[in-house]
Each structure stands twice: as C-alpha cells, then as structure tokens.
Chains A and B, each alone.
Chain A
Amino acid sequence: GSSSVGRYLLCEINVSDKSQLLLLDDRAVATAVKAAVARTHGDYGLALCTIRFSVKYLNTHTGIVLLRFPKRCYKLLWSALPFITSITTRGHNIPCFLNCLHVGGTIRTCQKFLIRYNTQQLHRMLPKCKNEEEKQQIREAILDCSLEDGTKEAFEEESESEEDEEE
C-alpha cells in the first residue's frame, strides 16, 4: 500500500546547552513530534501519525535525529515540526528546536547526506581549534567520516529491517 512508502527527514536538534542532548531518547523525541502534530493539526494529524511514523535514529552527542513519515502526508506532518519548542525527558524540559537538514526517499540517501554534513561541521570547527593537536584530531575525524563509525552501523541495522523504497 502507499503507506509503506516513506519520507525520511534528517533533522538536527538545536539546544542552548549541548549537554542536555544526552538526556534525550527516541521516545521523548517521538512524543514531542506527536504533541506538536496534535497541537497544529489536531486529531487528523495525530491519526496520520499512527500510520508508520517513527524515530529511526537518534544521536545524543550531535543531536541528529532521523524521522520517518508516510509519503502521502509528510509535508503536513513536517509543517508541525517548527512548533516544537522543547522536549520533555526524564523529568527535564529541554528548550530546543528542530532544524530539518535533508529529506530523502530512503535511509541511505539520508545517510550519505549526513556523512557530508558531518564532514562540513568538522571543517567549520577547524578555525576554532586552539592548538595543532586539536586540529590534527579534527583532520583525522574528517578522514574517518568516509569510512564512518557508529553512525553508519546504526543506519545499516535499521535499513535491513526497513524496505528501502526508491522513487
């Protein structure tokens, strides 16, 4: 059916205090998304969310999260995301907002984008390094990006179970 075709939104959770990201988990993010959808689009929106919306991946160090929406209504659900102003988790209320980096038809395209984005972020950090040692660490991390680490593994785990639907 058409609800098995998905859209993957790669987002970055922006906070004022990065250490707060570590408190997050997929359920907290999913709850925040559904609450925003309910506030913005009411029962209709919330009903759409029960058709295969899920948080596919969350990295609490970088704040990167991958959301899956059904293709038919992803734009409507996406339009609720800017209304997220905080995420509640383990009793903490973390002020934040979501920044959508990329929309893809498959997890793989989002993964490819993420590697490029991570590389870009590392390049942006280079001028801020205080010494040669820090610079060298970042340069090595940039080289590693193409062979990547936990990010790639986490994505691969998921893509085995998920049907990779192409357009």
Chain B
Amino acid sequence: MIVTVLPMTNTGGYEEREVVVRLTDVRKDFGDYAALDGVSLEIGAGESVAVMGPSGSGKSTLLNMVSGLDRPTGGSVVVGGEDLTRLNEKGLALFRRRRIGMIFQFFNLLDDLPALDNIALSGQLVGLKASAARKRALELMGELGIADRKNIYPASLSGGERQRVATARALMNRPSLLLADEPTGALDSRSGDQVMQLLMDLNQLGQTLLIVTHDPRLAAQCARRVIEVADGRIARDSSVNAAVVANGAVVAGVAR
C-alpha cells in the first residue's frame, strides 16, 4: 500500500494516510465533448467525500472512472494501488468485485432474486459457497435492520428498503471503497436521512466513502470533505484550504 501524507479536512491537521484513490489529470471525452477535463484527486482511507455539482457536470462520469465501469480517455486512475488503465475487462471485473461497493440512485437490484440472494450473489462471485454467502448476507441485513425482508423480491420493497438491500450488497465483500451515486435521489427525505445516517455510521467504522449528491445539506452533514465539480473540472475541494480552482469557474454549481 502506498502510504503518504495527505492534507486533511477542515480541521487543518496533517495525518499519515493510505491513498485509496488517486486520479491524475483524468480526461473523458464523449466524441468531442469533454465530460471530464483534467481531473486530479486523491482520497485517503477512511475519508468520506461528497461530490457535488450541477446536472451534467460529470459527477457520474467521475464515479465511473473510479469504479472502472468506464475508461478515461487520458490520465491515470489508481485505486487501492491498482492502475485501472492497465487492467483489461476481466481484470476490471475482478477488481470491482473485491474492492468496490456500489450504490445507485435507482437501486439496480436484480428483480428476480429475493433480497437475501441479491446480496449473497456478490459473495458467491468472490468464491463464497452459497450457504456462507447467505449467512454473511443475513448478518448484514440484520445490521441494516432489514433481516425480516430477506425473502421479499425487490418489487415489493419500499424505496428505503431497496436502498438498504443495495447497500448490504455493496458491503458484502468488505470493499475498500464504497461508491454511491445519488443514493437518496429516489427516496423521500426520511428514508434518505436513514440511508445517509447508515453511510455515516459505516464511515465511522472506517469505511472509505465517495458519495455523489445534489443535496448540499446532506453533503455538509455526512461528508467531511466536499468536492464541487463544474463542466468536467474540480471547481472546489474543501480539503484544500483555499478554493484553488481552475479558471475561477467556482462554486456557481452549488447555487444552481
């Protein structure tokens, strides 16, 4: 593991941290449209980072770079010490199943597996026996307070429950990084708060978090570090004391 010194948090202190994510000058072009335009970023272990920005600014694209769901046009992406740009499709899949947990706005559960099996499937993917995978899945469901929903199919779960199942699935293989793209976007505020609370609790336990959200309140509440993205660039990073930003394109995004 790469160990380095990292500028840390609003408290201004410096601590020694493992770097979990390091993006260096990442570009992503769709045709001649630059969705990401030179993004560099480091995230240390145990951090909880919120990514904010207007719609279409490149937040999801950024997340896809980190999860290896998509490849950058330029620059390098190193996650958990692995250079993702050097991995082939299979390598990326193996990387994802062991290192990354993902939570989506619209849950993305498999409709034809009951809640428990949706969670256990991830475990089976890394070679757990079906019984062992179910056992761990059930423990997770218990911790997330949805153990009694284990045999229910996604279609019959409430939105909040679905997102908790999705979270349990993301945690199944003890990922070094938990990615969440608008995890509360499809939930009412109460369920949204519960899911956010859950993520904060996980972070307290040492889980590294990268959350995309539109909601400044949630961002402020749960993340100790907020990154604002605008037009494919990082407009502001709260971990950097001053708002050091390219082209002064700053903060406007938050207001929008």
Do A and B form a real pair? no
- Taking Cβ atoms with an 8 Å cutoff, the residues of A that contact B are none
